[in-house]
Amino acid sequence: MLVNFIRKNFIKGLFLSLTFIVSFCVDSKADISLYRIAGEDRYETASKVNDRYKYNYNSEYAIIVNGVDFRSSLYGSYMASSLRAPLYVINMNQGITQDKAEQLSDIGIKKLYVIGDFPMREFDGNLPFEIKFFSGNSSNGWSDTLELINDEIFNILNFSNKAIDLEEITNSTILIDDSKFPDLLSSIPYTSSLLRTNMMKLGNYKKFYKNSDKNFGVIVGGINSVPKDFKSRAETISLSALNNRGIQDHQYDGRIVFGRISGEDRYKTAVEIANSQKLLMSNRIESAIIVNGTEYPDALASGSVAYFENGVILLTNPQKLDANTKMFLINNGIKKIFIVGGENSVSKKVENELKNLDNTNYVVSNLEEKIILGAKKIDQYEANAPMGCEASSLLMGLHLKGYALNKNIDVFLREMPIAKDNNPNHGFASTPFKYVKGVYQSILPKPMAKWGQNYGNVQDISGASLGKLKQEIRLGNPVVFFGTAEFKSPKYHDYFWGKNAVDNAHVMLMDGYSKGQIHVVDPAFGGKDGYWVDEKKFEQIYGIKKYAVVIR
């Protein structure tokens, strides 16, 4: 709504045994089910994961990895998740013992894959299954090994693996820096899903240096992990959803997924990967697997938990739940949470934070970085809609998140629900295309959010503090908020539907902040790139009603 100012100046769950009680705890406070899967060490933790899902595995295959080397172990987890196979994490000093071989024989596997370099013990007699080895000792190290693992998975899944042109190869490649364990670990559910659903292969970017001029499918990690020389398809096409944060939004184009996925640190990158996986799974994320983001040992088998629980892997500091991880859990209503690892990996303090998510104060005190999501201005006057700030602001936010890209403001305005009784609690009162005297021409947050849900994940968060709005921005979520034109003092008026309505109300989009300032993209005032508002002034004007709608 625009306002007396404009009017005067311009009409512009399977529990396997009671022995789990010590290391496998459940808490259902606030409807959150919390499970911890843990053993005495990384090997026993992985064994407990196998015990939990032993009736769900594809029993034809098994993968054994060296628990000392994270790269070979996580490649094994990627293979296990792709094939729905058990992952055995073995102590390098013990090698593969006769007992382990007999155990594998008992479950009826037909082929054993050994990934990594460690000694083989003598076996008594012939084994009833084939063994295939993958080692990191080739001329290109693990890059060649990963390629062989991909080929093996393709053969098992009966995917075509014949030679195709280079452009098709790079378009179907997921690039990652496999020397960074956090990115590799948190991406396993996503990359294995892309392999199964889109026939996309994980690859170490160093293997593709000579093809860095080509377009790749997905890139996991920022330019400090996978250099800017490598481009995804999303970075070579023009989409209004791409932003200027230095982070390219991932898109879902039919069955083709593309984009660079990263955040400012390992924790935010894991959240962005989870958001990508949510998109791939049509929002059917049922759980979250919480692991130590600073050390890998206990987390080696977390990929299997994520696969069988339809979950994502999120990282945390061992002693304090990461703020971005916390917000993902809250925003997505995750009620089933698994901690993989003992209390030295993920502390009791973090466990208690997870149990009490519903009682958490979401304000983070040390938000002094500069973030601009990069919304593209949609001018309400170019659509001849002097009262159309609500629709313009909502569409800016939707476009930023990759929603409603086929809608321009002219079409969008005509899809806006109109309140026949001129009550803005029921829809837009009257028309956005001209000023109508005596009518409060606006649509309030509740019906606005309901309308927005036709296009994407839009929620009414009215009443949220400024700290909460900043948290949404940190997660890449723009916020439509109700303020006043040019942030001037409010002018109140009573209407039949309510008292003290702000008559000079104006709706805008918050898409960033820095220390002491809030970045606003205004559909009526300011330039095409938006403008900065003093944080205290913003809080004063936003605080009049605290009306806000977030696009996630």
Task: Read off the pLDDT of residues 426-436 as tens digits, 9 standing for 90 and up.
Answer: 999 999 999 99
The pLDDT tens digits for 302-340 are 999 999 999 999 999 999 999 899 988 988 888 899 999
In the prediction, which pLDDT does 509 show? Answer: 98
pLDDT of residue 164: 54
End-to-end CA distance of the chain: 23
Residue 234: pLDDT band with limits 50, 70, 90: low
Quote the tokens at residue 299.
């987390």
Q: What's the average model confidence in pLDDT over 471-487?
A: 91
Highest mean pLDDT among 84-88, 142-146, 446-450: 446-450
Percent of the residues in the chain that have a pLDDT greater than 90, as a whole number: 48
pLDDT reading at 425 higher than 70: yes
* pLDDT value at residue 285: 87
The pLDDT of 136-163, averaged and rounded, is 75
Query: Per residue in 190-210, pLDDT tens?
Result: 999 989 888 889 989 888 877
DSSP strands (E only) in 451-516? 458-460, 479-484, 492-495, 498-502, 505-514
Predicted confidence (pLDDT) at residue 486 exceeds the cutoff of 90? yes
Task: Kindly indicate the confidence band of residue 140, based on its pLDDT and cuts at 50, 70 and 90.
Answer: low
Confidence at residue 480, expressed as pLDDT on a 0 to 100 scale: 98
Going by pLDDT thresholds of 50, 70 and 90, the confidence category of residue 263 is confident
DSSP line for 318-373: SSS--HHHHHHHHHTT--EEEEES-TTTS-HHHHHHHHTGGG-----TT--S-EE-
Backbone φ and ψ of 215, nearest 5° = -95, 125
Give me the mean pLDDT over the 133-157 stretch.
79
pLDDT at 233 over 80: no
Report whether pLDDT(86) > 70.
yes
Q: Taking 90 as the threshold, does the pLDDT of residue 444 lie above it? A: yes
**Buried (b) or exposed (e) across 437-472, using 16+ Cβ within 10 A?**
eebbbbbbbebbbebbeebbbbbbbbebbbebbbbb
Give yes or no for residue 97 having a pLDDT over 80. no
The mean pLDDT value for 520-539 works out to 94
**4-8, 166-170, 416-420: the lowest-pLDDT one:** 4-8
Amino acid 253: pLDDT: 41
Query: What value does the CA radius of gyration of the chain take, rounded to a whole number of Å?
Result: 26
- pLDDT exceeds cutoff 60 at 13: no
User: Looking at this protein, which amino acid is placed at residue 170?
Assistant: T
- What phi and psi values does residue 434 have, to the nearest 5 degrees? -160, 160
CA–CA dist 527, 348 (Å, integer): 50
Q: Among 1-15, 141-155, 378-392, which range has the highest average pLDDT?
A: 378-392
Do residues 83 and 61 lie in contact, with contact meaning Cβ atoms separated by under 8 Å?
yes
- Give, to the nearest 10 degrees, the angle between helix 70-83 and helix 181-198: 20
Q: Is the dihedral of CA 109, 113, 114, 116 positive or negative?
A: negative
What is the reported pLDDT for 136? 67
Which candidate, 252, 233, 154, places its Cα nearest to that of 199? 154
**Rounded to whole angstroms, what are the CA distances from 234 to 174, 250, 257, 275?**
13, 7, 9, 16
pLDDT average, residue stretch 77-84: 92
What pLDDT does 96 receive? 66
- Of the two residues 211 and 153, the one the predictor is more confident about is 153
- The DSSP line for 136-147 is S-STTTHHHHHH
Average pLDDT of span 142-152: 84
With a cut of 70, say whether residue 375 has pLDDT above it: yes
Q: Could you give the CA distance from residue 161 to residue 151 in angstroms, rounded to a whole number?
A: 7
- Spatial CA neighbour of 360 closest among 339, 337, 329: 329
Average pLDDT, rounded, for the chain: 82
Q: How confident is the model at residue 134 (pLDDT cuts 50, 70, 90)?
A: confident
- In the chain, the amino acid numbered 307 is Y
pLDDT of residue 139: 54
The pLDDT value given to residue 346 = 94
Cα–Cα distance for residue pair 109/83, rounded to 1 Å = 13
Out of 79-93, 347-361, 416-430, least confident range: 347-361
pLDDT for 537 beyond 70: yes
Check residue 31 and give its pLDDT: 66
Quote the pLDDT of residue 209: 78
- For the ranges 109-123, 512-526, 532-546, the lowest mean pLDDT is seen at 109-123
Query: Which of 100, 205, 199, 191 lies closest to 159 in space, CA to CA?
Result: 199
Least confident span in 158-172, 484-498, 515-529: 158-172
| pLDDT of 23 above 50 | no
Q: Is it the case that residue 372 has pLDDT exceeding 50?
A: yes
Would you give the DSSP letter of residue 30? G
pLDDT higher than 60, residue 491:
yes
Question: What per-residue string of b and e applies to 123-161 under the rule 16 or more CB within 10 Å gives b?
Answer: eeeeeebeeeebebeeeebbbbbbbebbebbbebeeeee
Question: Which residue do the tokens 């703020």 mark?
Answer: 323
pLDDT at 546 over 80: yes
Domains located in the chain, CATH noted: 4-12+369-551 (3.90.70.10), 38-359 (no CATH)
Sign of CA dihedral 176, 177, 179, 184: negative
The pLDDT assigned to 528 comes to: 87
Supply the pLDDT for residue 435: 92
Is residue 255 over pLDDT 60?
no
Phi-psi category of 319—alpha, beta or left, where left has phi over 0 and alpha has psi -120 to 50?
alpha
pLDDT number for residue 1: 53
Specify burial of residue 405 (Cβ count, 10 A radius: 0-12, 13-18, 19+).
middle
Q: Across 78-134, where does the E strand assignment appear?
A: 87-90, 111-115, 130-134
